[in-house]
Amino acid sequence: MLKKQKYNVAIAGATGAVGAEFIALLENRRFPVGELKLLASQKSVGKKLTFSGQEVAVCELTADSFKGIDIALFSAGADRSRQFAPCAVKAGAVVIDNSSAFRMDPHVPLVVPEINPDAAYKHEGIIANPNCTTIIMGVVVWPIHQINRVKHIVVSTYQAVSGAGAKALAELNTQQRDLVEGRKPKPQVFKHVIANNIFSHDSKVMDNGYNQEELKMIHETHKIFQDDGITISPTCVRVPIARAHSESIYMELARVVNLNDIHQVLSRATGVKVVDEPDNNLFPMPLDCSGRDAVLVGRIRRDPSVANAVSLFCCGDQLLKGAALNAVQIAELLI
């Protein structure tokens, strides 16, 4: 654990969608920042971003960027994390990395503070932030797992374009405008048109038929829960939503489901808000959770044919709990 009054913080990937959330969260959560260093590629050098009412100039991300830095928040892609995170550690910083670069490294803890906070203290300089879909599923499934072990999960995700970054968000806006104005949308960031469309997640499909995003949900959940015995079958889909992922989750549990117990444990769970009003047809929606810290959960119901199975629906802000917020919460654990 770090013990100081102020902490020098670097953000690698400061001009990206997650980088912007890092800056806002550090300010809004009153993280005790001493010096804030904003890092990005050479093309962004000199650009000024605002933090706590002051303009901070963006510097180029290099191997020498981390002198005097205590905590380095990375969201610059896996390649740059592999290249520059070791440099930050060598300079004395603790790296909290939002990419996939180190998640499955056995020497790197993979942390969701609501699930395995103690793992953060076992770092060797780098702590990995899980994939957005894994985090959103995990904070809802974990409380249930504590009272009735989860044996099998079938999960379908409906993933916002924010997961592909700022350029993808701009592409959705452009394509929606093209459709309204009678022009044919042209995909550039994605392989397919995203406006008015859905398609299988845009990650490589592996030999077993699952894409990389789906495999992340399997392997990362096993590591975070420390339970490889949970079988998980994901289907990940991209949808034309700007922000916030949704997930439909079916779980088979060790014992017969008691819905009242599940409602109660989710109502008490940190980082979770139950939105489950059948009479009003009010359940979690991406619009309602965009910009919110909590993962919303509802549609909680027993499977009519399997006594030990429960289904639910959840939504979480991909840029917040699915990325930047989780990383800042890890930093808060360290201090």
Active site residues: 132, 245
Taking each helix axis from N to C terminus, what angle separates 132-147 and 259-268, rounded to the nearest 10 degrees? 120
Sign of CA dihedral 205, 157, 292, 139: negative
Cβ distance 140 to 116 under 8 Å?
no
DSSP 3-state of 319: coil
Q: Which residues of 292-315 are buried (b: 16+ CB within 10 A; e: fewer)?
A: bebbbbbebbbeeeeebbbbbbbb
CB of 158 closer than 8 Å to CB of 246: yes
Structure tokens at 232: 């998980």
Angle of CA points 233, 288, 167, to nearest 5°: 70
